[in-house]
Amino acid sequence: MPILHAIVLGLVQGLSEFLPISSSGHLLLVPWLFGWNDFAGQDGESIKKTFDVALHLGTFVAVLGYFRKDVVTYVREGTKLVFSRQKPTTVEGRLAWFFVLATLPAAAIGAVFENVIDETLGTPLIIAISLIVFGVLLGWADRIAGKRELEEFTAPDALKVGVAQALALNPGTSRSGITITAARALGFDRDAAARISFVMSLPVIAGAVAVKSLSLFTGEVQSDLYIPMAVGVVTSGVSGLLAVWGTLRLIRTRSFMPFVVYRIAAGVFVLVLIATGVRNGSV
């Protein structure tokens, strides 16, 4: 894999993981658009997934670094239930367990339907339609004048946002986009919705990285991919940190509408490429 491709994919992952535009969809569309075939071969698809998950390591470090103080507090207060059998009495302690609860629906559905999702979803056509449909849904939810703050996040909210997050198993939906949409629909303000989405990403990304990292030690990934993978991880981490900072800064004065416009434009662009035969409808 050329280093340039690793840098581009790292940038794509870092920016699109936290911007509500779908990282999984863009990681499929970018190579498709430019005709890259870096993972050809018998185990190409498996290696590609491992590379994509490795890029998530960078974004995991980025969001963990940005919210490090909050995470330390969540872990300290939340683990009181485990180590001292003490029911969480602080807002942070309750939120910690609500964030864990919110990850369960996607984890369960992903485990049961992983093969079906891999075999039927992720085509440019489905990604394009998903970008448009869920972009419009984000635009609708963002018009709700929500005033609820992060401290008001409850267990029912966690389950509802968690169920919405499961839809992001479809490339093109966007994990951050659909969780922000759900949080806004539940009446949370933009800052709270974004923070809920970003903190919820920690256990999801950590779990995916932990599972797929085993491939690095089983010989599934060739040694000549280690350097491009490392470059991609660093690039995704730096761009991911900028995306988190930039998104939180932007939504304090603006809406999510620029992302809605981008999603619709990108989806229409892909549909035009497919309809005109410039690119075929498969990756």
Q: Average pLDDT per run of 10 along the chain, which is 283 residues long?
A: 91 91 91 84 69 86 90 87 74 88 88 80 92 95 89 93 92 93 94 91 81 60 80 94 90 88 96 91 67
| Counted domains in the chain | 1
Nearest-10 Cα torsion for 55, 153, 20, 243:
-60
Helix (H, G, I), strand (E, B) or coil at 120: helix
Instruction: Name the residue type at position 247.
Output: T
Give the pLDDT of residue 89: 73
| Buried/exposed code over 44-60 (b: 16+ C-beta within 10 A; e: otherwise) | eeebbebbbbbbbbbbb
Quote the crossing angle between the two packed helices 155-166 and 175-185, to the nearest 10°.
Answer: 140
- Domain-located, residue 178: yes
Identify the DSSP state of 38: T
pLDDT of residue 213: 67
C-alpha to C-alpha distance for 60 and 277, rounded to whole angstroms: 37
Q: Is 92 part of a structural domain of the chain?
A: yes
Within-domain flag for 280: no
* Residue 283 located in a structural domain: no
- pLDDT for the residue 219: 54
Q: What residues are paired with 148 via a beta bridge?
A: 188
Q: Which of 24, 269, 18 shows the shortest CA–CA distance to 169?
A: 24
- The boundaries of the domain holding residue 106 are 3-275
């049961």: which residue's tokens? Answer: 112
Residue 282 within any structural domain of the chain? no
Positive or negative CA dihedral for 215, 216, 219, 220? Answer: positive
pLDDT at residue 266, as a whole number? 96
